[in-house]
Amino acid sequence: MANGTTTTIPHDSGHDAEHDKPQRSFFRLVQRPQQGCHPVIDWLTTVDHKKIGIMYGAFALLFLLVGGVEALMIRAQLFLPENDFVTARLYNQLFTMHGTTMIFLAVMPLNAAFFNYMMILQIGARDVAFPRLNAFSLWSFVAGAVLINLSWFWEAFHGGWFGYAPLSTKDYNPGMGADFWILSLQILGVASLAASFNFITTILNMRAPGLKMMRMPVFTWMTLITSFLIILAFPAITIALVELMFDRHFGTHFFDATFGGKPILWQHLFWIFGHPEVYILILPAMGIVSEVLPTFSRKPLFGYPLIVMSGAFIGFLGFAVWSHHMFTVGLGVVATTAFSLMTMLIAIPTGVKIFNWIGTLWGGKIHFTTPMLYSLGFIWMFMMGGFTGIMHSSVPVDHQQQDSYFVVAHFHYVLIGGALFALFSGIYYWMPKMSGKLMNETWGKISFWIMFFGFNLAFFPMHLLGMAGMPRRTHTYLGDMGWNEWNMWSTAGAMILGVGIGSAVVQVVYTWAKGKKCGMDPWDARTLEWATANPPKDYNFARIPEINARDQVWANKYGKPEEKSGPGEPEPHGIHMPDRSWYPMSASFGLFMVGLGMVFHKQNFLGWDHTLEMVYIGGGILLLSIYLWALEGPRGYHVHPEED
Amino acid sequence: MSETTRKPNFSPASKKTIEGESTRFFTFFNVILTLIGLTFLELILIILPFHEYVLLTGLIVLSIIKFGLVIWYFMHLRWDQIFLTALFMLGLILASGTVAALYLLFPAGESAANKEAPAAQSGAH
Amino acid sequence: MSEATAQHSHDEADSHHVAATNTGIPNKKLAMWAFLASDCMFFGTLISTHLIYRRVNPDVVIDGNVVPVTSIFDIELTSASTFILLMSSLTMALTVSAMHKHNVKAARWFLLSTIFFGSLFIGAQVYEFNHFVHNEAHPLTLTNTIFGSTFYVLTGTHGVHVLIGLIWLTTWYFYSFSPKFNEENVMDIEVTGLYWHFVDIVWILIFPLVYILEYI
Amino acid sequence: MRILRILTLSVTLLSLLLFSGCLKIDQNQSALDPKGPVASQQADAFYVTLYLTTFLWIVVGGAMLYAVWRYRLKKTDDPNEIPEQSHGHPIIEVGLILFSAACLVVVAVPTLQGILMTKSLPEEYQEGAITVDVTGYQWWWAFDYPEEGVTTANELVIPVGKAVKLNLRSADVIHSFWLPKLAGKVDLMPGQENFMWIQADEPGMYWGQCAEFCGDAHAYMLFRARAVPQEEYEAWLADLKDGPEVPVDAPEMPEEYSEQVVQGKKVFMQNCYSCHMVGGKGGVNGPNLTNFGSRATIAAGWMENNTENLFNWIKKPHEIKPGNYMWYGVPMKTPGGGIITMEGLKEADLSDEDIHAVVAYLQTLK
Ligand code: HEO
Ligand code: HEM
Ligand SMILES: [Cu+2]
């Protein structure tokens, strides 16, 4: 592959001389970092989707461990009845922060890491449509994540990850924990929305020539659908959080029943977001599995159009079932029935996917690599979680299960056995792409089996606990309820699961540093990301490939002659690369300051009580950054890769 | 080009564009006249002696027409790729569906404030 | 006006710098439409909140008295602002049209009128809010009724959208004198215009749903 | 590698077996040990879904495992071999979709039955049905019998074999009324009244718990329902209506009571009466204590009702239930929107003697 020599020449636009001046930021406030700048500056100011993807992944793994430690503390407390390892308040903070961390800071950004890194390569593009906006998404995610974890040093939120009003209003939650939670989620929402507009535009507009929509890899399809879910679901929670914030700080009564407010409205608005959110977590996972299974069965995906369509169908239906989280709040017969039946319908498109995955295995040549093992584990465990979901969709059954440990079992089966297993599958599968190094197979398999065993030991007993009447979110329980043994097993399993996840993360870090180098296409894979160097050059492809078939890389190796294709024309003036920029990060920093200042509104921040000024300064930084960002333009330089 | 436009660097637009945009110029005026007319109709509706539901339907139809006129002409959907219309409709339909479903989920006049809630009576927090 | 003409004018504006896209739609425009689809959900949620609370609390009680909302509202003023916002939409459309013709001078004038109408609208809203809050007989504040909360938060969010639009348009106005202002910006201004028109259509919904409905 | 795999697999299977071995389903709060019509319907519906999904899990999971085993790369195989590149099969797809839809109908039927059964009290259960108004507080329960004009707390008493209509309300945040052996839960929403009904087919003590997270001491918000034969129920009602033997506002105490009880009553009047009712008089911010001495538990079902526990509870209620309003005082909204706090025991500074006295007094309330 291209051993590219890169020459930097000024952007040649042919139109005006302004472009040829040295690339400096507006007002020359900060030098716009150039190629060959210090690595730290390079990473902070990068607009390269691959570096951004790696940072998303690194932060996500970090927060996976943070959320995991929180989970293990939860389980340690529940090991024995009437245990006092943690206080009630701390326990309540732990499960709130655990849920929030795992969903918003671990699984979503891990998905985003692969969207960023792999989706772009899969469509044969050089970068996203708006590279600086992409960097802004990353840094805003970091800002939100840091903000919510800072809350541990003051007061962490203790209202559950769905923050039901009125418990989350000032009357019942007077501390600043709720404010940390509200503002962090708002900032994380900005990050997710910005990233999603970017991905939608990129996928629709920037595919390689010949890559029709129905030739796109399924992972790219799921990225597209997930991005749509994000832009259509997040507004609901944003507005709900705004209303809650007004209740807490500006004296309104949106959720105060004594003034005619309806706490139930919070639940509706939250779940209008919340249910699509769970598909936001799982669809990318399904996309990963749809890449891994064909590769290691050495067969194309069975029923590709159906898998794609069922993904879209799941996404669409996902907006029509939110009240299945509210079967016990007294909705009335018609609404309850409608939401119950709609929920059941989702089993059909999901089933279609599972059947087609099995169809993919059928008649293949199955290579038992680590990523394959994780994907198979995914199918099996996710299916089980899906089935308990179907139990929940039946109203009378859910009347017993709602808010019990059965629900905790359901969603950990879909979230760990589902999302997390698939994400680890993705990590092991794509690590050679991202680092140019192979993960160790033996250790990978050992980790998988530890995880698989620990996971089932931790969460299977929770089904039984739920049916035996143990409510979730209780920091303690009496010893004579018949729950003791299962809780002990469960805690033991959680610790084993923790070891499994920890060991896998260690392997990731180890591989990154010292892994065994590998060639360009170690898995004999199918899709476009494997048609370039490991890791890819800054510009991804020296020449944008032309696409004549669904699995182009496979077709090039083994396909019919008419399906094969070569790289397209070289760019006449070299490849245009956008410049690095400071402003995405400074804009996110402004956002962070606004958030922090608002959390500390009327409070004292480290001895400083001008927190309102902090909001203004943060807002100023944000605004100024946006202006400077707009004025500096993408700019860029040209690269002339030596042909391969 | 004139004195003031000398600094920004614009080449003359093609003849076709200029012709097209000039035709649109009049379309835009027709649209705004219709919009203003419809708004007047909305205001007149208030004083008409029809049944509430008739008026309500009228109001909704009128706003949908106005809405449509703006996105179709002012926002150029008429002249742009159909894909953009589909994209926007996705959001619009989902949003309207959600508004409608939510609205129907809350029965009229059933709030605590109208009924002297038990919470209010007991006086506790 | 034929499809062909229309198509042509767009190609014209984009062909210089923007690489060809798969859909033929420029990136910024596509992203803006996606944003608007998303914004539908934002306002959908706010409008739901308002309508639901209006439905479950039919009486607006201020200081212990049931106050008819029509006696708070000032429909003449609101109708006037509605016309104003519609007019701003027209001038915005004309701005974009002029930009397509590369007639920067005309575009500037239309832009200025859009800014003028937009500011007028915001002015009217500030006046309206002020008027409601300081109403002698029955002041309507953000906190004294749930109607006040939903009303101010919904119309206020709309107002913030208008304000952002105004800042954006004003920036363009000044930028249009810069030597850097060029044909690439035709698309940018069209995108700003899309945003502006959206703010207008949201008002087209708010006007009947929040105001006129009270009179029926 | 292979050995490791077999090992872990067998350990997994073994532990699964172990679980099913110790599968007993009659725990205090088990939903699988129904003792009333609603819970029975719900348990039946659960079993329908359980059998169906277990069947599907085995079939579909089995198909997957079979495919994995059948088409695995064997030692003798050429790893680079390319199997036939099949793309899909419409008839199989459509068949499976129809099959899934049929399975869902099986789930939908008991679902609809359950919805209809719980939406209001069915005709056939109406005879002799009683009504109880349930109000949830942080973190205890008030049970009012509107037809009888009596109130009790944390321990519901109901007649066996009679339906009980429950009107559910909340005084503060959302709670959820869950009595697994009699019925699944329904939430107590502020500003809204919810309905459910229960019926106990056998006498006994049933365990229940708040199921919706409601703040610091959520885990301690338990309750009991005692189902008793009709006569006993009526006797209990009569007893409750009679009020306590030692009326809380009587100026003179009957002779037979000890000094301690007399003292206890005084302490009660000074420190407890503003929040707790006894015999129709007193405050409403805490549980009604009229028949307190005959209750099996204290602290909303968390502890057995005995002298020692009661003493500890009154001495340091906040250490037993964090955030306890009995200790810290009850914040109450004033009509103007402000908050005033009803003083709690924190300010009272009771001596051990006083506490012993008040314990003695409470135990006379039968
Ligand atoms: C990744 C996340 C994820 C996913 C994918 C799902 C998938 C599903 N969920 Fe779950 N869920 C998720 C995450 C959560 N759910 C929850 C709660 C929850 C509740 C409310 C429970 C309660 O609080 O009382 C219900 C009713 C469901 C239903 C479902 C259904 C029907 C599906 C379906 O999508 C599953 C479909 C899959 C199936 C069915 C298996 C494969 C199908 C085959 C093989 C075809 C044949 C099958 C049949 C015909 C049945 N979920 C909560 C709790 C939130 C909280 O309270 O904190 C979370 C986090
Ligand atoms: C080491 C692995 C994990 C363990 C041992 C674990 C354990 C638990 C336990 C015991 C609870 C219930 C606490 C309670 O109700 O009192 C819980 C809640 C939760 N978990 Fe996990 N979990 C793990 C990983 C994950 C992952 C990966 C996710 C998401 C992707 C996740 C999402 C959640 C959510 C959303 C809740 C609900 C929080 C709430 O009630 O507000 N968990 N977890
Ligand atoms: Cu859901």
User: Any idea where the domains of chain D sit in the sequence?
Assistant: 123-229, 259-364
Q: Please, which pLDDT band fits residue D16 given cuts at 50, 70 and 90?
A: low
Check if the beta carbon of residue A196 is closer than 8 Å to that of residue A284.
Answer: no
* C45 contact residues in A (CB cutoff 8 A): 235-236, 239-240, 269, 272
Domain-located, residue C6: no
Domain-located, residue C42: yes
Closest ligand 1 atom to Cα of A327? 24
pLDDT at residue D246 greater than cutoff 50: yes
Q: Are the beta carbons of D332 and B123 separated by less than 8 Å?
A: yes
Q: Is D298 helix (H, G, I), strand (E, B) or coil?
A: strand
pLDDT at residue A506 greater than cutoff 90: yes
Chain C: nearest CA to B30, how far in angstroms? 10
How many domains, chain B?
2
Cα separation values, A417 from A387, A511, C215, D54, D128, Å: 13, 24, 56, 17, 50
Check if the beta carbon of residue A200 is closer than 8 Å to that of residue A228.
Answer: yes
Chain D: nearest CA to B23, how far in angstroms? 51
Output the DSSP codes for A42-73. Answer: HHHH---HHHHHHHHHHHHHHHHHHHHHHHHH
Residue B91 forms contact with A (CB below 8 Å)? yes
DSSP conformation class of D33: S
Report strand pairing: A637-639 vs A575-577: antiparallel
**Beta strand spans in chain D (E):** 130-137, 140-145, 150-153, 155-159, 163-170, 175-179, 183-188, 194-199, 204-210, 222-228, 277-278, 281-282, 297-298, 303-304, 330-333, 339-342
Residue C175 forms contact with B (CB below 8 Å)? no
Structure tokens at A319: 């907006």
Please return the burial class of D59, using the count of CB atoms within 10 Å of its CB with bins 0-12, 13-18 and 19+.
exposed
Overall average pLDDT of the C90-116 stretch? 93
Superfamily classification of domain D123-229: Cupredoxins -  blue copper proteins (2.60.40.420)
The enclosing domain of C157 has a CATH number of 1.20.120.80
DSSP conformation class of A551: T
For helices A405-412 and A370-393, the axis angle rounded to 10 degrees is 140
pLDDT at residue A457 greater than cutoff 90: yes
C-alpha A102 to ligand 2 mean position (Å) = 8
C-alpha B103 to ligand 3 mean position (Å) = 20
Domain-located, residue B96: yes
Structure tokens at C128: 């309206």
Closest ligand 2 atom to Cα of A160? 41
Sign of CA dihedral B35, B41, B44, B50: negative
Domain-located, residue A548: no
Give the number of other CB atoms < 10 A from CB of residue D218: 27
* A193 contact residues in C (CB cutoff 8 A): 38
Pocket test for ligand 2, best of A70, A72, A79, A98 (most atoms within 8 A of CB): A98
Pairwise CA distance, residues C141 & D54, whole Å: 58
Domain-located, residue C74: yes
Q: Please, which pLDDT band fits residue D254 given cuts at 50, 70 and 90?
A: low
Chain A: nearest CA to B68, how far in angstroms? 21
Neighbours, chain A (3 or more CB pairs < 8 A): B, C, D
Tell me: do B37 and B54 sit in the same domain. Answer: yes
Closest ligand 1 atom to Cα of D103? 49
pLDDT reported for residue A147: 96
Closest ligand 2 atom to Cα of A415? 30
Domain housing A575: 570-643
Ligand 1: which residue has its CA nearest to atom 30? A389
Domain-located, residue B112: yes
Domain-located, residue A241: no
Q: Please, which pLDDT band fits residue C14 given cuts at 50, 70 and 90?
A: very low
Q: Are the beta carbons of D284 and B118 separated by less than 8 Å?
A: no
Pairwise CA distance, residues A363 & A297, whole Å: 8
Pairwise CA distance, residues A444 & A416, whole Å: 17
Interface of A with C (CB under 8 A): 13, 15-16, 18, 129-130, 193, 196-198, 200-201, 204-207, 211, 231-236, 238-240, 242-243, 246, 250-254, 259-262, 265, 269, 272, 627
* A261 contact residues in D (CB cutoff 8 A): 191
- First-to-last CA distance in chain A? 5
Overall average pLDDT of the C66-86 stretch? 90
Q: What would the pLDDT profile of D115-141 be if each residue is shown by its tens digit?
A: 999 999 999 999 999 999 999 998 899
Tell me: do B39 and B67 sit in the same domain. Answer: yes
Q: Are the beta carbons of A243 and C23 separated by less than 8 Å?
A: no
Here the ipTM equals 0.91
Pairwise CA distance, residues D44 & D184, whole Å: 13
Q: What would the pLDDT profile of D178-212 be if each residue is shown by its tens digit?
A: 999 999 999 999 989 999 999 999 999 999 999 99
Domain-located, residue C190: yes
Domain-located, residue A593: yes
Q: What angle do CA D327, D333, D336 make, to 5 degrees?
A: 150
Domain-located, residue C16: no
Closest ligand 1 atom to Cα of A352? 45
- Chain-centroid distance of CA C73 in Å reads 20
Closest partner residue to C56 (CB to CB) among B18, B75, B106 is B106
Question: CA torsion angle for C3, C5, C11, C12 (degrees, to 10)?
Answer: -170
Tell me: do B24 and B70 sit in the same domain. Answer: yes
Instruction: Just give the CATH number of D259-364.
Output: 2.60.40.420
D139: preceding bond cis by omega (within 30 degrees): yes
Tell me: do B23 and B58 sit in the same domain. Answer: yes
Cα separation values, B33 from A382, A599, B29, B71, C204, Å: 58, 48, 6, 15, 15
* Helix (H) or strand (E) segment spanning residue A269: helix A263-297
- First-to-last CA distance in chain B? 72
Pairwise CA distance, residues A176 & A154, whole Å: 8
Q: Are the beta carbons of A258 and B94 separated by less than 8 Å?
A: no
Name beta bridge partners: A404.
A471
Pairwise CA distance, residues A335 & A320, whole Å: 11
Domain housing C81: 27-212
> Which residues numbered 108-167 in C keep a CB inside 8 Å of some CB on B?
108, 146
Q: Judge whether D123-229 and D259-364 match in fold.
A: yes
**Mutation test of the interface with chain A: which of B11, B88, B105, choosing the one with the most A Cβ atoms within 10 A?**
B105
Residue of chain B whose alpha carbon sits nearest to that of C95: B25
Q: Please, which pLDDT band fits residue B8 given cuts at 50, 70 and 90?
A: low
Q: Please, which pLDDT band fits residue C161 given cuts at 50, 70 and 90?
A: very high
Chain C: nearest CA to A556, how far in angstroms? 23
Q: What would the pLDDT profile of A54-68 be if each residue is shown by its tens digit?
A: 999 999 999 999 999
pTM (whole model) above 0.80: yes
Q: Are the beta carbons of D192 and A330 separated by less than 8 Å?
A: yes
Closest partner residue to B112 (CB to CB) among A260, A319, A335 is A260
Q: Residue D181 phi/psi, 5° resolution?
A: -75, -15
Domain-located, residue C20: no
Pocket test for ligand 1, best of D100, D106, D107 (most atoms within 8 A of CB): D100
Q: Please, which pLDDT band fits residue D88 given cuts at 50, 70 and 90?
A: confident
Q: Please, which pLDDT band fits residue D271 given cuts at 50, 70 and 90?
A: confident
C-alpha A587 to ligand 1 mean position (Å) = 38
Q: What would the pLDDT profile of D326-339 be if each residue is shown by its tens digit?
A: 888 888 777 666 77
Check if the beta carbon of residue D284 is closer than 8 Å to that of residue B124.
Answer: yes
Overall average pLDDT of the D68-91 stretch? 84
How many domains, chain A?
1
Domain-located, residue A574: yes
**Ligand nearest, relative to CA of residue A69:** 2
Domain housing B65: 19-78
Chain A: nearest CA to D59, how far in angstroms? 11
Question: CA torsion angle for A29, A32, A37, A38 (degrees, to 10)?
Answer: 40
Check if the beta carbon of residue C6 is closer than 8 Å to that of residue B77.
Answer: no
Structure tokens at A88: 């009630």
- Is the beta carbon of A386 within 6 A of some atom in ligand 1? yes
Closest ligand 2 atom to Cα of A405? 15
* B100 contact residues in A (CB cutoff 8 A): none
Closest ligand 2 atom to Cα of A64? 27
**H-helix segments, C17-103:** 27-56, 75-100
The enclosing domain of A604 has a CATH number of 1.10.287.70
C-alpha A468 to ligand 2 mean position (Å) = 19
Q: What angle do CA A461, A466, A467 make, to 5 degrees?
A: 100
Q: Are the beta carbons of B90 and A331 separated by less than 8 Å?
A: no
pLDDT reported for residue A565: 85
Interface of B with D (CB under 8 A): 110-113, 117-119, 122-125
Closest partner residue to A205 (CB to CB) among C21, C142, C171 is C21
Q: Residue A32 phi/psi, 5° resolution?
A: -75, 120
Pairwise CA distance, residues A563 & D137, whole Å: 70
Q: Residue A193 phi/psi, 5° resolution?
A: -65, -50
- Is the beta carbon of A254 within 6 A of some atom in ligand 2? no
C-alpha A94 to ligand 2 mean position (Å) = 10
Q: Are the beta carbons of A232 and C149 separated by less than 8 Å?
A: no
How many domains, chain C?
1
Pairwise CA distance, residues A106 & A58, whole Å: 10
* C57 contact residues in B (CB cutoff 8 A): 109, 111, 113-114
Q: What would the pLDDT profile of B50-86 be if each residue is shown by its tens digit?
A: 887 888 888 889 889 989 989 898 888 888 888 999 9
**Mutation test of the interface with chain D: which of A362, A410, A477, choosing the one with the most D Cβ atoms within 10 A?**
A362
pLDDT at residue A8 greater than cutoff 50: no
**H-helix segments, D71-175:** 90-119
Residues in chain C: 216
Q: What would the pLDDT profile of D230-245 be if each residue is shown by its tens digit?
A: 999 999 998 888 877 6
Residue C35 forms contact with B (CB below 8 Å)? no
Domain-located, residue B6: no
What long-range pairs does A306-309 form, CB within 8 A, spacing at least 24?
Answer: A306/A352, A306/A356, A306/D88, A306/D93, A307/A218, A307/A352, A307/A353, A307/A356, A308/A214, A308/A218, A308/A221, A309/A349
- Is the beta carbon of D211 within 6 A of some atom in ligand 1? no
Closest partner residue to B25 (CB to CB) among C40, C94, C177 is C94
